[in-house]
Structures are given as C-alpha cells and as structure tokens.
Structure 1
Amino acid sequence: MDTNRTAKLEFAVQMTCQSCVNAVKSVLEKEPGVRSVQIDLSQEQVLVETALPSLQVQSLIEATGRRAVLKGIGGAQPDLGAAVAMLSGVGLVRGVVRFLQLSPDRCLIDGTIDGLSPGDHGLHVHELGDLTQDCMSCGDHFNPFRKLHGAPDDSERVWDVIGRSLVVDSGKDDLGRGNHSLSSITGNSGERLACGIIARSAGLFQNPKQICACDGVTQWDERDRPIAGKGRKIPTDTPSAHL
C-alpha cells in the first residue's frame, strides 16, 4: 500500500444519531491507510481521504451495521476527471472499475470484479466503446502511439479513455515478456470474459441522487439490483420510496 497515493471517497451512509457518527469515525480512524475522516450527520455523508481501495473502506463502514454507498471520488487537485466502467459478460463475471486522475501524470484505478477463476487476469482498455457484439466489438487494445505491449510500470501510458471500453480476459497478461506471437500485442491473456464502456463519473459532491426517477430504486437498494432488465424494478404493488 502506497500511503502517498491517496484519494478522497464520498460515501452516503445510513446514520441517524451521534452514536452512528462515533462508530463510523472510530472504525475508520484506527485503520492504517486512512488519512482523514469528515462526517456530516445531517447529510448522512462520510468523506474519507485514504490510500485504501474503496471497497475496503465501504466494508469497514458497513462493519458498524450501517449501509454505505460510494457516491463520488476525487483527488488532492480538484476536477481532474473521473470515470467508471460497469463490466458484464455472457457468464457470471461482473464488476465495477473506477478511474481517478490524481495529477496530470498519475491515474488511480480502483475496482472489484467478481466471478473470475482464481489467479491473475488481463485487464485492458480497448479502442472502441461498442458492445453491440458483446466484448468482441470492443476493437483492439487502445494503443494510440503504437507501442509494444508492456507492464504497468513501463514508460507507456494510456490517456483519454472515456468513451472507450474496459475488458477483462480469461488469463494472465504476460506483460509482453512471453514467447507467444500475441505477447507484444495483447499480452496473450486469453479470451474476453466481460467488458463495459468507460463513462465519465461523478467527482466529489457531484452526485446528489437519492432515488432513481425512472424506476423508484433508492441509493440503498440500487447496488443489490441489476443495472437494467429483470429484477431491476420494484414490484408494482410496492410504493416507491420517498427520501
């Protein structure tokens, strides 16, 4: 964990009293990697500056018995840009990956992907935000400078990814060091399992939504429901929540 690479995470947290605030603040402040915690009870808002992944911070908050929803992410420098990709495929692989521009030359990538087999998997930005044929229409790896495939700490960097796609593969990326003909092109990481379009996302304090106007799903229930389709909407005999 690099404690010098911190981000600010904005959570909506179900809190009703000062004891709720004390419980959340206590569990976060004693965790290594958390730099600061600010809590606004009236807004049910928790702002955490941390080097920890967002899912780990959310789990710490929810260990106190309160539900938490990540609403925004930001860096030390204001409004350098944030993006998110919701990954899905034909199987059980699902995930959310977030991008945050911490500085002009540093991007934080944070996310969780479920349903993968144990082991390493390639994760790449592809040139097209086209899911008309699932992951097969995402195009090749985004490689604007036509560099050989390399490792994250090599000199190549990826910019301007909003509107493109993110794809997770079935196997490990050999980082261009393998002997396969695809090593220097794709890292020879196997077939495409799941993908999603990289879209601009909310920064800090830019997401006031508490209830979805289209189907009445609240921010507390939304993460437990599909993004769309069967199982998304509240049954018709259940009134929509009012917040």
Structure 2
Amino acid sequence: MLTSKLEVLVDMGQNPEAKLLDKTINSLKSQDGIKEVMFKDGAFMIETTLPSSVVLDMVTKTSGKRAVLQGFGDSQSAVAMISSQSCCSGRVLGVVRFQHTPDGLVCDGSIDGLTSGEHGLHVHRAGDLSEGCQSLGGHFNPYDSPHGGPDDPPALRHAGDLGNIVADDSGRATFRIQDNVLKIWDLIGRSLAVTERRDDLGRGMSPTSKIDGDSGKPIACGIIARSAGIFQNPKRICACDGVVVWDERDRPLAGKGRRKCCEKHDEKQNGTGDAQNADKPCCKV
C-alpha cells in the first residue's frame, strides 16, 4: 500500500514540552497505519497509509492541542476545495488532496454534507466553474475510452474515473484512493466533482452507464490546484488580519466573521461597543 507524508502543524507554543512531544510521538507510532513520526519546526511529519483526516484527529486527541494539515506529500501535490455553493442547493463541503509517488497517485479526502451511501467521484476535463458544476466538461479521458472503474485498465476507463466514496450516517465521506492511471501533472487546472448517486463503474444496464456510470449530476465540485508538500509552506499567521493558521479553517474567507475582533475594536472606538470586547487586540484570536 502506498504511503503519504503529512506535515501536521500543532499549536504547542515556542517551547514545546518534551514529555508531551514524546507522548504524542509514541502514541502515534503505536497506531496501525502509521509508519514513521518525527517532530520538526513545530510540526509532526507523519508517514502513513491512513486518510489524512483520521491522522489529524489522532494528533489532536493525543496532544490535546489545535492541529492543522500544513503540507501533503514530498513534492508534487495538488488540492481541490469541494463545494456545492457554485451549483446546488445543498451544503456539501470538503477537501481532496492528491500526491504523486513513483508507484502511483494517492487521492485523500473528506467531504461533508452528503446523503449517506455511495457517491461517484470523478476528475473532469475542464476547470471551469462559470456555470457551477455544469461547465466542467466530461470526465478527463485522454485515451478516448468508455467509462469504467478505477481498477480497470486505461482502455476500459476514463482516466478521471475514481469510483465511489461512501458517506456515513452523518453525511461524511472519508477516503484514500490509490490510482495507477492518473498523473499529478495531468490534474492541475482540471476539476473534481462528486455526484448525487452511486457510480456503477460502467457495468450497469442504463444508457449512461458507459458515459458516467449512471451516477447522476454533480452535487459539488472544485478546481484542482497546485499545493504545498511537507515543509514547503512556512505560513503560521495571516498578515492581513492576524488569524493564525490553526483557527483559519474555522473562519470564512472574508466578511464579518473573518474580522470579528477588529469590528469589536472599531465599535469601542466609535462608542458603540462594550469594554469587555474592546479589550481584545484588533485582529487577534
């Protein structure tokens, strides 16, 4: 099974406690699917065969500290931010990462807001969200092949056919897919979509089975972009508004929630806020 290297940034302060570091490292190494763990520059480098979201939960629970995935893969990596906001009425959100290895591609992700059960996952030809998920073009298919499953040879599948992911009763799908057809350099600028139904992998009786696995329309999608590998991203704090990297994933990209502390500070300056909120530094968390 292919391994992935993760850089997990942990909020341990400037002088991490040695006992806590040892406890976290030893606990992680004892878990099935964890191959190697080391601590460097405030982050854990973890080599694993597990989905990154599972590893991130392990680090958070073991260390008791805030943790965030800072880098994925040695060098050639990509990421897609999946959302239903551009196309559909649901609230599907997720992150899917790709890593190139000499032995194949790793597709690693978690997506929330799905109905329970199986959903198709496909790389599409175009990275065009001008009409939401309806302008992505067909599945990425450089070999002009019929639709198939991820275990089929290139002549019997689209390169973008990644099969199915499975959402649990809470609507979350956590997955790690290995693929021997897709290449990381083929993905950048294309798009990834999750569909409303199960993909029959080209083996069904429906007229659309050999086109899209009768998996229905996309319900969430995102453009695939280049991303940082381990120890390639030194970011710890957003210079524009002071939001630290551990909290950034819980803030909107822009708007009131993003600059909450600044707004409270400004209200006090204008005589409309209360003293308790005004005591907080502007743009700090």
TM-score (normalised: structure 1): 0.90
Deviates more, 1:146-155 or 1:16-25: 16-25
Instruction: Tell me which of 5, 9, 34 is aligned to 1:8.
Output: 5
Kept in 1: contact 2:187–2:224 (CA 8 A): yes
Match of 1:127 in 2: 125
Match of 1:51 in 2: 49
Instruction: Tell me which of 56, 78, 88 is aligned to 1:83.
Output: 78
Which secondary structure state, in structure 2, belongs to the residue aligned with residue 69 of structure 1? Answer: strand
Compared CA separation, residues 107 and 23, structure 1 to 2 (3 A): same
Kept in 2: contact 1:99–1:107 (CA 8 A): yes
Kept in 2: contact 1:143–1:158 (CA 8 A): no
Kept in 2: contact 1:129–1:164 (CA 8 A): yes
Once residues 193 and 221 of structure 1 are traced to their aligned partners in structure 2, the CA distance between those partners, rounded to angstroms, is 28
Match of 1:113 in 2: 111
Please tell me the residue identity of whatever aligns with 1:37.
V
Deviations 1:119-138 (A, max 9, x none): 11001011111112111111
Please tell me the residue identity of whatever aligns with 1:124.
H
Once residues 132 and 233 of structure 1 are traced to their aligned partners in structure 2, the CA distance between those partners, rounded to angstroms, is 29
Equivalent residues in 2 for 1:148-167 (5 A)?
148-156=146-154, 157-159=181-183, 160-167=186-193
Task: Give 5+ residue unaligned stretches, structure 1.
Answer: none
**Greater CA radius of gyration, 1 or 2?**
2
Deviations 1:196-221 (A, max 9, x none): 00000001111001112333321010
Aligned residues: percent identity? 50
Match of 2:20 in 1: 20
Q: CA deviation at 1:66?
A: 1.2
Match of 1:96 in 2: 95
Compared CA separation, residues 133 and 233, structure 1 to 2 (3 A): farther
RMSD between superposed Cα atoms in Å: 1.6
Deviates more, 1:14-23 or 1:127-136: 14-23
Deviations 1:48-91 (A, max 9, x none): 1111111111111111211111111224xxx3x10000000132
User: Are residues 1:239 and 2:282 paired?
Assistant: yes
Compared CA separation, residues 229 and 142, structure 1 to 2 (3 A): farther
Compared CA separation, residues 154 and 139, structure 1 to 2 (3 A): same
Divergent runs of 4+, >6 A: none
Which secondary structure state, in structure 2, belongs to the residue aligned with residue 63 of structure 1? Answer: helix
Which structure's residues are more often helix, by fraction?
2
Tell me the number of residue pairs that the alignment of Structure 1 and Structure 2 aligns: 232
Deviations 1:120-167 (A, max 9, x none): 100101111111211111111111111111111111223301101100
Which secondary structure state, in structure 2, belongs to the residue aligned with residue 208 of structure 1? Answer: coil
Once residues 186 and 230 of structure 1 are traced to their aligned partners in structure 2, the CA distance between those partners, rounded to angstroms, is 41
Match of 1:143 in 2: 141
Which secondary structure state, in structure 1, belongs to the residue aligned with residue 234 of structure 2? Answer: coil
Once residues 244 and 212 of structure 2 are traced to their aligned partners in structure 1, the CA distance between those partners, rounded to angstroms, is 40
Instruction: Tell me which of 197, 204, 227 is aligned to 1:201.
Output: 227
Please tell me the residue identity of whatever aligns with 2:282.
P
